[in-house]
A and B are shown apart, each in its own frame.
Chain A
Amino acid sequence: MHHLCALDDVVPGEGLRVTTTSPPVAVFRTDDDEVYVVDDTCTHQDASLADGYLEGCWVECPLHESRFDLRTGAVDQPPAKRGVRTHAAQVVDGQVWAELSTDAPNLPPGVAGSTAVASGVTA
């Protein structure tokens, strides 16, 4: 498990970009207080999904408005063609942890990144 942030670091209804993973991930906290973790970079072009608009369990990319289902990573409409990689999130004692996926990330062309954990606390 990888420690990402404190739950209080994430405003309800918003996302937080966490860069202690590589590639960076986005932690979303819904208005219903559900927590989801996905890769932060949109699969279409270099944009931070943590900056996107969160509505229910969906986040809209802030650049081109493709929406991703935070539960599955699925994308609803172009321009993004591929889903975003999801990570299993867990909140323990007010801290957000994730089991980082070992699947290959769907990063857009021109963005450096790998599935390797670059730094941060690993448990």
Chain B
Amino acid sequence: MSPRHVVVVGASLAGHATARALRDAGYDGALTIVGDEQHRPYDRPPLSKGFLDGTLAAEDLALEDADDTDLAATWLVGHRAVGLDVGLGAPGVAATHCVTLDDGTVLVADAVVLATGARARRLPAHLGGDLAGVHTLRTLDDALALRAELVPGSRLVLVGAGFVGAEIAATASKLGVDVSLVEASTTPLAGPLGAEVGAAVAGLHAAHGTPLYCGVPVAGLTGATQVDGVLLDDGTHLPADVVVAGIGSVPATDWLVGTGVPLTDAGAVAADADGATAVPGVWAVGDCSAWWDGDRAAHHRTEHWNDALVRPRTVAASLLGLAPVVTTAAPYFWSDQYGVRLQFAGRRTGDEVLTVEAGSLEGGDALAVYWRGHVPVAVLGMGQPKLFNRWKRSLGVASVAA
């Protein structure tokens, strides 16, 4: 039974792509899109790169094009969903769900897609996370606020040397900002890339004169009302005018607690491999969700831009009762730092054997392949787009060249 009213909660990449996928799949019923930011859908990756350095303007980030400006949808931007009452339905009768917004509006829908994304994790207040000059970067407004403070000669300390922190560091140093990074683990990016490759990628900072302090946790931020430095556990004090916490994100699902929609231990909406939750008529996609991952035999939240773009097609097909859309492509993400394009695809568990097929890790131009036996399971390229894309296609296929 085709729904009569679909409510998509979330107006970023996953929410917008869901709305578009529904229309592309032939859905012609009512469609409402709710977004908690004031902005129409925009692309987040440039926020730490081209938008932060001023190369791109806000309108350059728009995800909508002339053909789908409104997708014949009701757009409720600037409204946060605060409640979900799930109806159970009955045999032959579709469930009716109610989404409540922060202004008291109640939207009645027979299908709901949860695409609320994630929030940047903040440094806790007792460590100084509430001081002026302390930022996170997730939204366009975050980027505007940060950009205003990244003036040449100012001192920026990034807490966390993951992808967001590294990209901000690279952008800020280009702007003439005095940048340092601190990272609690001994090797940045060891989680996604492994220690050897993570160290090589982190080497880009040293190659560009950006100090990186690893393996020492932050004891706290200093300053009375305005941050003036970052104190490390070993007593090192790094003076700072601006601090950015790049310490990960948490699913924006607090409003779903107690609604009956199952959440994982990490707070993501648990969904099956089509994005359907255990509540009939409720789907979840994008950074707020953890889809069932057969390879891991667990729900897994990916936070990849590509998944937020592609998975909505699977959701739309499932929601409309069409033939399943299965995406088999390897998980993929990219990062641009200091003019070097990093690309990673595949699934690594940590016990793979690494080979460097071109360039070198020390040289910052490696094409590295992760092998499980004779099977390449993941690939990392540093400024190697051509080779990277070729290797990406061979992932999962046994090779005698191992």
A: residues with CB less than 8 A from B are 14, 45, 47-48, 51-53, 60, 62-65, 78-79, 81-82, 109-110
Contacts and interface: CB of A to CB of B under 8 A. Distances in A.
A54 to B, nearest CB: 10
Contact of B309 (A60, A78, A82): A78
Contact of A63 (B17, B20, B385): B385
Nearest to A65: B306
30 contacts: A14-B386, A45-B46, A48-B385, A51-B386, A51-B389, A52-B385, A53-B390, A53-B393, A60-B389, A62-B386, A62-B388, A63-B334, A63-B343, A63-B385, A64-B309, A65-B306, A65-B329, A65-B332, A78-B17, A78-B20, A79-B63, A79-B309, A81-B65, A81-B67, A109-B50, A109-B56, A109-B60, A110-B50, A110-B55, A110-B60
Contacts of B56: 109-110
Given A65-B306, A78-B309, A81-B65, A109 B57 contact: yes
Interface of B: 17, 20, 43, 46, 50, 55-57, 60, 63, 65, 67, 306, 309, 329, 332, 334, 341, 343, 385-386, 388-390, 393
Please list the 9 inter-chain residue pairs (A to B) with the smallest Cβ-Cβ separation, ordered nearest first.
Answer: A109-B60, A62-B385, A51-B385, A81-B65, A110-B55, A51-B386, A53-B389, A110-B56, A62-B389
Nearest to A44: B43
Residue among B43, B306, B389 with max Cβ neighbours from chain A (10 Å) = B389
Given A109-B56, A109-B57, A110-B55, A52 B306 contact: no
Which applies to chain A's interface (DSSP): helix, strand, loop or mixed? loop
Contacts, number: 44
Contacts of B46: 45
A25 B384 CA distance: 19
Residue among B56, B67, B386, B388 with max Cβ neighbours from chain A (10 Å) = B386
Contacts of A52: 385, 389
A109 B329 CA distance: 28
Contacts of A79: 43, 63, 309
A64 B393 contact: no
Contacts of A110: 50, 55-56, 60
B81 to A, nearest CB: 25
B142 to A, nearest CB: 20
Nearest to A50: B386
Nearest to A79: B309
A76 to B, nearest CB: 12
A81 B63 CA distance: 9
Contacts of B390: 53
A48 B306 CA distance: 19
Nearest to A46: B50
Nearest to A108: B60
